[in-house]
A and B are shown apart, each in its own frame.
Chain A
Amino acid sequence: MDPVFAFLALLTTAGAVAAVSLRNLVHCALCLVVAFAGLAALYLQLNAQFIGFAQILVYVGAVAILIVFAILLTRGSEPGNQPILSSSWQAGLGVAVLVLGALGVAVASSFVRYYPVSPAPQPTVRELGEQLMTNYVLPLEVIGLLLTAAMIGAVIIAMHEKQGPR
């Protein structure tokens, strides 16, 4: 196994496991950032330069900050001494293990194990941009619309309730 890949995989997995298992929510968010950064490095290793940096820009720069803000705004929700797992956690864990097992078996038994390594593609940002403006112009417009709608929606949902039922 490639040592760089091994290190990044370990970092990402450790970050992910810590992000869903730690008690302190802010620590969870920070570990999530580690996982995101590890994934971005993996993208770079896979020659997807632009996507890797976009991952850092969006996930580390925006999503992680959003999560941190949400954690601080819902401050009373810190568990304290309560259990951190939900009441039906055994079932959830069982489902997760089943899914992981199924995916693992599927990957292990598929022919991708013998897939040839193709020469490294070097997509330039210019090519990506041209694709976005020609083949993918409709999805691009749709995603613009979606982001606008999501922004307005998020603002309206999170806006202060004037006379909410208490």
Chain B
Amino acid sequence: MTPLHQYLFLSALLFGVGLAGALTRRNAIIVLIGIELMLNAANLNFIAFWRFSRHPELATGLMFVLFSIGIAAAEAAVGLALIIAIYRHYRTANLDQFDSMKG
């Protein structure tokens, strides 16, 4: 059986990759992909902690992940709708060009 900390390392790595993608890419959709990856890394943490907890029958981690998946779906829908609306307005999904509020 894989020990807990390996799952945690994997989850940290995924979080880091997601964060790097969200912060360094220009395209808004890739930023959203990075955010999804970070959410999933957190989910993996929850599941791993649930699996190694002393009272797995309470299923707290599972419940949290279930709700998190639901919220992620809502988030993806709204985020992509926003990207499409912005694209329609500016004709680009490039984040560097959304600078009309720049002082």
A binding-site residues for B, Cβ under 8 Å: 1-2, 5, 9, 12-13, 16-17, 19-21, 25, 28-29, 32, 35-36, 39, 42-43, 45-48, 50-51, 54-55, 58-59, 62-63, 66-67, 69-71, 73-74, 76-77, 79, 82-87, 89, 91-93, 95-97, 99-100, 103-104, 107-108, 110, 112-113, 115, 117-118, 120-121, 123, 127-128, 131-132, 135-136, 139, 143, 146-147, 149-151, 153-155, 157-158, 160-161, 164-165
**Nearest CB of chain B from residue A155's CB, rounded to whole Å:** 7
**Nearest CB of chain A from residue B39's CB, rounded to whole Å:** 10
A66 with B19: CB separation less than 8 A:
no
With a CB–CB cut-off of 8 A, which chain B residues contact A36?
40
* A67-B33, A77-B92, A86-B26 known; A112 vs B81 contact (CB < 8 Å): no
With a CB–CB cut-off of 8 A, which chain B residues contact A157?
78, 81-82, 84-85
With a CB–CB cut-off of 8 A, which chain B residues contact A113?
3-5
A126 to B53, CA, bound (A): 20
- The residues in B between 13 and 65 inclusive whose CB is less than 8 angstroms from any CB of A are 13-30, 32-34, 36-37, 40, 43-44, 47-48, 50-54, 56-57, 59, 62-63, 65
B binding-site residues for A, Cβ under 8 Å: 1-10, 12-30, 32-34, 36-37, 40, 43-44, 47-48, 50-54, 56-57, 59, 62-63, 65-67, 69-78, 80-85, 87-89, 91-96
B29 with A67: CB separation less than 8 A:
yes
**Nearest CB of chain A from residue B62's CB, rounded to whole Å:** 6
A76 to B97, CA, bound (A): 14
Pairs of residues from A and B, 5 with the lowest C-beta to C-beta distance, nearest first: A20-B21, A92-B23, A100-B16, A121-B56, A150-B74
Which chain B residue shows the least CB distance to A158?
A: B81
* A20-B25, A70-B84, A86-B96 known; A143 vs B57 contact (CB < 8 Å): no
B48 with A46: CB separation less than 8 A:
yes
A123 with B81: CB separation less than 8 A:
no
